[in-house]
Amino acid sequence: MVDGLQSSMAKIIGLIPSRLSSKRLPGKALAKIEGMPVIIHTAKRAQLSKKLDRILVCTDSQEILENCKKYDIEVVLTNGEFRNGTERIASVASKYDFEYAVDIQGDEPLVNPNHIDIVADKISNNLKNEEIIIPTLEVPFSSPETIVRVQSSLSGRIMTLTRAPVPHRYLASVATIQKHLSVIGFTKNALIKYSNLEVTPNEESEDIELLRALENDMRLYSLPVEGNSFSVDVQDDLLKARVAMKSDMFFGKY
């Protein structure tokens, strides 16, 4: 279905933001991996989730829309004025009936469906009344500068998101940090609230969209998971994804 409102309640919806005008790798959403565009891999793997009632690609690109239709993936056109993917999916939130959303970044062709299910389960059985759930993975302290690092409290509340090499080793060495994985759980109200917020200072400095939520005192919670994934941001990532897909355990299932 393209456009149009949902006729029946979907408790958990998967929303996949996608665009062609990427800064570092223009057109990456339609770059081919094993003969299939990046965005299609992402959506097909989301369809392997056991927890999502519906999956919807949100895009401003007619080319992406046509590719999604070709592969029988539900898609909705948005405008092109958004600063980030969260703004894009938030723009359609009020048009659909759901209680929880899982944001799956469109440039994650190797996204793990099990991570989607873990996040969906956590946000929909949310005993702490958190608004946003972010899966994290422990990684070596010396990980590349480009990853988004997460610092959490002892109870799991997120204290900060940054690209800086935190924490600072002042008194003790820290062997691991948490890496933010690009699958994010939202309550519907959190998405709508985010859509009404202005860009914040740290968000603008770090270029991390969820800092807007954190700086406005929204409740973010970290969720440790096992495994890994990576986004296709530059040409080297695309080459790495093409190699990894050949031995990927989920590729043969769609």
Q: Which residue has the higher pLDDT, 172 or 16?
A: 16
Positive or negative: CA dihedral 47, 53, 54, 55: negative
The CA distance from 127 to 54, in Å, is 24
Q: Which helix (H) or strand (E) holds 121?
A: helix 113-124
pLDDT of residue 4: 45
pLDDT of residue 120: 96
State if pTM tops 0.85.
Answer: yes
On the question of pLDDT at 225 being above 90, the answer is yes
Dig out the tokens for 248 from the structure.
Answer: 């990927």
Structure confidence at residue 127 as a pLDDT band (50, 70, 90): low
The CA distance from 152 to 175, in Å, is 15
Positive or negative: CA dihedral 219, 100, 179, 204: negative
pLDDT of residue 105: 96
Structural domains for the chain? 12-135+180-244 (3.90.550.10)
